[in-house]
């Protein structure tokens, strides 16, 4: 392997400051939408779905860009995705039934 081949293997795309500012801007916009949703009088089921969806988008942006997982190898991606699926499944099994039960309770 020549020196040129070694440098070609080691190079990767590095994010720019402009990219981080765009991601930060979209995180700020999504947070603003979440705050706006808190002031709207929506059905609890719809509110939960919207807030969880927005939170998933925000967490994906944070993990992909600020934790630099977007620029990592496929192996790391294959470790993160099954873990994420497992955690979401556990949330669906254990957290949502209790939260829906609490919403249905009338004090």
Q: Look up the pTM and report it.
A: 0.57
Residue 34 above 90 pLDDT? Answer: yes
For residues 35-39, give the mean pLDDT.
92
For residues 3-9, give the mean pLDDT.
52
Domain positions in the chain are 16-71, 72-107
**pLDDT tens sequence across 54-96:** 998 998 888 887 777 676 777 777 877 898 899 989 888 888 7
Separation of alpha carbons 54 and 40, rounded Å: 16
pLDDT recorded at residue 86: 93
For residues 18-32, give the mean pLDDT.
92
Band of residue 97 on the pLDDT scale cut at 50, 70, 90: confident
2: region left, alpha or beta (phi > 0 left; psi from -120 to 50 alpha): beta
């Amino acid at each position: 392997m020549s020196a040129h081949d070694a440098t070609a293997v080691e190079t990767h795309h590095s994010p720019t400051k402009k990219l981080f500012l765009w991601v930060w801007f979209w995180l700020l916009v999504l947070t603003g939408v979440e705050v706006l949703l808190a002031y709207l009088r929506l059905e609890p089921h719809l509110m939960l779905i919207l807030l969880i969806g927005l939170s998933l988008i925000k967490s994906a942006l944070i993990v992909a860009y600020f934790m630099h997982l977007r620029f990592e190898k496929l192996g790391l991606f294959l470790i993160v995705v099954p873990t994420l699926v497992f955690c979401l499944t556990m949330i669906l099994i254990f957290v949502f039934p209790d939260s829906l039960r609490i919403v249905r309770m009338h004090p």
